[in-house]
Structure 1
Amino acid sequence: MASAVRQRVPFRFSEGEEDLHILDEQEQEEVIEDFRKQNDDSNAVYFMGLQVVLVLSAILQLVYLFNSKKISPLAVLFPDSTSEPLPLANGLAILQILIHINLSLNILPPNHSYRRLLPSTTFPGALTVPLPLSHPVAIALPAIAPLLALALSRGRADVLWWAEAGVMTVVVALVKKWVADGEKDIMKLERLRYMARGA
């Protein structure tokens, strides 16, 4: 009885160009700096876009403030919805404008000259308010006008108009979270550095 012996061929990794290149310390630093620069560039675009949207939104609020009819600008989009001015509409419009200014200051870098102009405001009685305002005040203030519009059973156009500052607050918070996540990712990448002797 003759048995055929089969030769065993062990598995071998291909030695082609897909082998991993081990980066030395300088190459690692260059890769991290490239990622950091890309992250900073995209953050600058996000913040510039946010500033433009905030300015346009604040201009709409100013137009509403100086309009004698006090009809929601969104009434054109919702013709079936009635638009009536809220009590204290001018005060609420000024509050909305101040919220926009606060959001605009919030997305500026901490060392920006505008932020250094307003480090904090001190009121009588030693009450200090840091500017720009952050949570929870920055979340509560934009909710005042839309809640009042809902409580007074105003139409969709009015409720949506007064909710605009709250929407902008959420958008700014989301963009700031994305930026913070990008910074964390860069820091994680920096912690993954390795020593490559002779690479």
Structure 2
Amino acid sequence: MDTLRRRIPFKVGEDDDANTDGEVLDDQQQEELIEVLRKENEIVNQRYSTALKVVVGLSCMLQLITFNQNPLLTVFPIQGTESSIPLPAIFTLLAVYIHANLIIMFFANEFRVRFQFQFSNLVGPLSYQFLYLLSAVAPTLCLFLQKPWQAILWWCTTPLMVFIVHAVMDAIQQSNQGIADLETMKYKAPGA
């Protein structure tokens, strides 16, 4: 057996990415890694939250500025006399109410902390399902009355805002949950 040559496995150069998969972290390294990830998560969540507040605020201002008129008709005019749904002011007020509700959702935690204010079911923000339902009234009416695409598109901005807020808030919540899950996955590795 001495004449047989030993097999030496092929080793690729030392890559940091390849070694981190099998690396065992001690308690302090785990805590440092989780803290770095938590800080990065907070920064990203703050940016998303700020961008979301700006988008919803601009959308609400656009709804208020163009109270009785469709701004898409200035860019894409149509050759008809009646291009809007009946009573557009009521639907605009509904859209503003939905935007205000979305803004309340952003600041709900800050209201609770600063003013020790607890939202009851009557005062708190509405659920996303109810906001989707309310925001779908005007586009559905446009489709039912066979209004031009400009009117349908304009009235679809409010459901789009609800969808964007819902998607981003869910992403923020999932990232926070991911950090919390990482903390529960800590292991004990003395002397690692």
TM-score interval, smaller chain = 0.7 to 0.9
Name the counterpart of 2:54: 52
Runs of 4+ in 1 over 6 A off after TM superposition: 12-15
CA–CA distance in 2 between the matches of 1:175 and 1:108?
A: 15
CA–CA distance in 2 between the matches of 1:146 and 1:44?
A: 32
**Larger helix percent:** 2
Consecutive unaligned residues of structure 1, counting only runs of 5 or more, are: 121-127
Residues 186 and 101 (structure 1), Cα distance of their counterparts in 2 relative to 1, 3 Å cut: same
Higher RCO (CA 8 Å, separation ≥ 6 residues): 2
Name the counterpart of 1:123: none
SS in 2 for 1:189: helix
Is the radius of gyration larger for structure 1 or structure 2?
1
Name the counterpart of 1:101: 100
Deviation at 1:157, TM superposition (A): 1.1
Identity %: 31
CA–CA distance in 1 between the matches of 2:85 and 2:15?
A: 70
CA–CA distance in 1 between the matches of 2:187 and 2:137?
A: 53
CA–CA distance in 2 between the matches of 1:180 and 1:31?
A: 20
| RMSD (Å) for aligned C-alpha atoms | 2.8
The CA deviation string for residues 81-100 of structure 1, in whole angstroms up to 9 with x for no partner, is: 75623222111111100100
Name the counterpart of 2:37: 35
Task: Name which of 112, 121, 131 aligns with 1:138.
Answer: 131
Residues 97 and 115 (structure 1), Cα distance of their counterparts in 2 relative to 1, 3 Å cut: farther
TM-score calculated relative to the size of structure 1: 0.80
Residues 192 and 12 (structure 1), Cα distance of their counterparts in 2 relative to 1, 3 Å cut: farther
Residues 7 and 170 (structure 1), Cα distance of their counterparts in 2 relative to 1, 3 Å cut: same
Q: Which amino acid in 1 is paired with 2:111?
A: H
Name the counterpart of 1:88: 87
Name the counterpart of 2:167: 174
Q: Which amino acid in 1 is paired with 2:45?
A: N
Name the counterpart of 1:119: 119
CA–CA distance in 1 between the matches of 2:79 and 2:177?
A: 45
The CA deviation string for residues 163-184 of structure 1, in whole angstroms up to 9 with x for no partner, is: 1110000001110121122122
Consecutive unaligned residues of structure 2, counting only runs of 5 or more, are: none
The CA deviation string for residues 67-109 of structure 1, in whole angstroms up to 9 with x for no partner, is: xxx3310113323475623222111111100100111121335
Query: How many equivalent pairs are there?
Result: 185
Question: Which piece of structure 1 moves more, 47-56 or 186-195?
Answer: 186-195
TM-score calculated relative to the size of structure 2: 0.83
**Larger strand percent:** 1
Q: Tell me if structure 1 keeps the 8 A contact 2:139–2:156.
A: yes
